[in-house]
Structure 1
């Protein structure tokens, strides 16, 4: 069942066979804890010998390891085995309604659907129905493409946002009597998750009607004060590069086919995602901080001062006794961008006056991009949670930058008017609140 006018397909979801211990089946998104191998080692120990999505994913902490090709081959073989031996069972077409509690929020609601990659374009300035919220780094796609290109199934950590202030799409489904398909505790402080089956034709039509109203051109133009004719209905929340990878694979399939008509019905045209309402009380935007490794305090501060001066910006570094003092000195106004930092274990505040960009993260990231290009020995990681920044930035050859959160209610309007934000601008919750792998879907025809 497809509804092209809203880029939606009702998926046939794969779930583990009855009797599977779901606690060990479901693990966190592969792009979390990228500097913490111990987290992933614990998962390996906990899930050893069990049906688990850990056997179907490639944690990014291991992307640079020498055995990457062997890992990918093993992942694909395991996917095929899970399909062949009945470990995964295909459900009737339908959505899955999700209620997730975490250590931070009592409830965050979502809906598993499939979205049409034909209606997604991550190039700058795109006016597609599904739009990216951050710059897509094309160089980050090849390793992800290698994982997906021969995979018979997909399992997403992608979360896509809709702007539904009246709560017409997802929330009304919780008033219905629905079958519970899973209900369990997630590993490693992940909270609790419950899934409900939505396969009744009337409820599917209810969702389609509500999404159609959200897409209405008049509503779109009035809500975002724009004259654009091409409406944006969906905005990427988490998993931007995973969705872009699915798009790249789909484009490859179209180029390689001898039958342009038939390929449009290929399952890889769609990608399984969790829809989340921007106005869900359980959805919180958290900042994504930056940590640099293999840098010296003198080298970094001199580079910052010189770079901002070259770009006609007044840069100042103020030494502070602790993070609290740096946060108190930080000013949130339009005449300057300020952000606390920890360099080699010492706290401070970076202040840039008269910035030419809207967001603090953009003012910092412009410098970091150039610094990393000029300093190949340095490397960067994107960190959720200020405590982790402090811990990682406390060693002599590291530096951490603490960034502010953006207002989630400004997101759609900003994307409509300004296009994609700088990469890694915001996070939907803390690391432990990220989507856990759970539902799967076939993406091959064999």
Structure 2
């Protein structure tokens, strides 16, 4: 028997997961996270063509590219109706309480392993300065939450694209399971659409294995081990799970739970389904986890005026601007500047040229924070300008080189520095890093009920 007190203390819940019934075309069922390809409508148009009227998570989510199309209420109603239909018609089948071991290959990595489980939203706080067990790694934009909360408001299901990181250098939680695959039932094994790679899932439901997983997680959360590992005092709360992907999705689940909780009795609060959120837990030390930069593209601007504003913002004596004729020249210059201390440099592209912008007299530790400080200022002044957060240099080049746009290339951060940085300095600037390229993002696949039967 698993001690419920143990997994309550570490914020873990063993969920009842819903998976498509046998015979469903899994390639059409599974689609990428809703916050991807938000400046590439052609991607989502192609997904819609591939899926058609077949059962699919596409019909259960709200791709963010459509958030401003003006038919949000109608789309949300349709999503809620499809969720009910998939349950009523037996398209989704409930598994007994379990975790799932996931093994994903992509065009960029042979294997990335994760563990599907649920976490307790009572152990999570996305506020800046939070010391909770589950914590955001980047700033949460409160204005982005209401439309996402509205989507969840009357939904009976959740579909996870949240990925939580653990800092497990000795590989004690997930990796031992990979050596026992023959003892687990394989519940899916298929090729993901749109260059998403291949995914396999294995059900873990025997008590001894689950106990072993919980014990390993509990060891990571030991306060004395935590203090020794990060060289911190009692003023720092244990950080067990750091949000790697899906920050605003998990924050929306938290807001929804706080709303639901208001009308519940103390007994109902204990085990209400909305109290928990389905996630994939991955080890930051997994070889398949690669931190990629998230670049920026500004739209509806005059590129030269943005470059002038950059120089005004940082002061001409504290910055420099160089122009080049190719991205190769930009990257060569950036690699030279990497050797210099106390400067931040990032590349840019417009319809006329490429270039490198360098800043001295730094106020921030990361290049992304230096650039984001300017962007927040500029967007506050230029109401018609818009920004998008982009994965992949090629997409930045494609979008940034269009008239009326400018793209900024940013470097990646070291993944091994993530936990210590968040523990010591607090949340990072929003959209600081991405775990892999856009096609490597979590695909929707598993579901879970978030309402009482």
Task: Write the distance in 1 (CA, Å) between the matches of 2:275 and 2:306.
Answer: 45
1:415 aligned onto 2:415? no
Q: Structure 1 residue 374 and structure 2 residue 381: aligned?
A: yes
What CA deviation, in whole Å up to 9, does each residue of 1:51-97 have, x standing for no partner?
10000000000000111110000000000110111010110000000
The reply to whether residue 224 of structure 1 matches residue 230 of structure 2 is yes
For the residue of structure 1 that corresponds to 2:442, the secondary structure is coil
- Which residue of the partner structure matches residue 151 of structure 2? 147
Aligned position for 1:363: 370
For the 8 Å contact 1:345–1:393, the answer to whether it is kept is no
The equivalent of 1:289 in structure 2 is: 295
Asked if residue 211 in structure 1 is aligned to residue 224 in structure 2, the reply is: no
How far residue 230 of structure 1 moved from its aligned partner, in angstroms, is: 2.1
Q: Distance in 1 between matches of 2:258 and 2:314?
A: 40
Deviations 1:284-310 (A, max 9, x none): 00000000011112211121111112x
Distance 1:345 1:188 in 2: 32
2:256 pairs with 1:249: yes
Backbone CA RMSD of aligned residues: 1.1
> 1: CA distance between counterparts of 2:195 and 2:328?
27
Matches within 5 A, 1:123-138: 123-138=127-142
Q: Which runs of 5+ in 1 are unaligned?
A: none
The 3-state SS of whatever aligns with 1:196 is strand
Deviations 1:250-301 (A, max 9, x none): 11112233x1332232100000000000000011000000000111122111
Partner of 1:276: 282
> Using the alignment, how far apart are the partners of 1:130 and 1:263 within structure 2?
19
Contact in 2 for aligned 1:345/1:395 (Cα 8 Å): no
Matched, 1:442 2:446: no
Deviation of 1:328 (Å): 1.8
Tell me the distance in 2 between the aligned counterparts of 1:297 and 1:28: 32
Tell me which of 27, 47, 53 is aligned to 1:23: 27
The alignment partner of 1:209 has SS state of helix
4+ runs of 1 displaced by more than 3 Å? none
Aligned match of 1:187 in 193, 197, 221? 193
Aligned to 2:73: 69
Per-residue CA deviation, residues 125-156 of structure 1 (Å, 9 max, x unaligned), is 11000010000000000110111111000001
What does residue range 54-93 of structure 1 map to in structure 2 within 5 Å?
Answer: 54-93=58-97
How many residues are matched?
443
Distance in 1 (CA, whole Å) between partners of 2:230 and 2:260 is: 35
The partner residue of 2:55 within 51, 54, 60 is 51
**Structure 1 length-normalised TM:** 0.98
- The reply on whether 1:432 has 2:436 as its aligned counterpart is no
> Is there any run of 5+ residues in structure 2 with no aligned partner, and where?
none
Q: CA deviation at 1:184?
A: 0.2
Range that drifts further, 292-301 or 1-10: 1-10
Match of 1:383 in 2: 390
SS of the counterpart of 1:340? strand
Q: TM-score, normalised by structure 2?
A: 0.96
Secondary structure of the structure 2 residue equivalent to 1:106: strand
1: CA distance between counterparts of 2:322 and 2:266? 61
SS in 2 for 1:128: coil
For residues 93-132 of structure 1, the aligned pairs below 5 Å read 93-132=97-136
1:170 and 2:177 are equivalent in the alignment? no
What is the deviation of 1:313?
A: 7.0
Q: How does 1:319-398 map to 2 (within 5 A)?
A: 319-330=323-334, 331-332=337-338, 333-398=340-405
Moved more, 75-84 or 343-352: 343-352
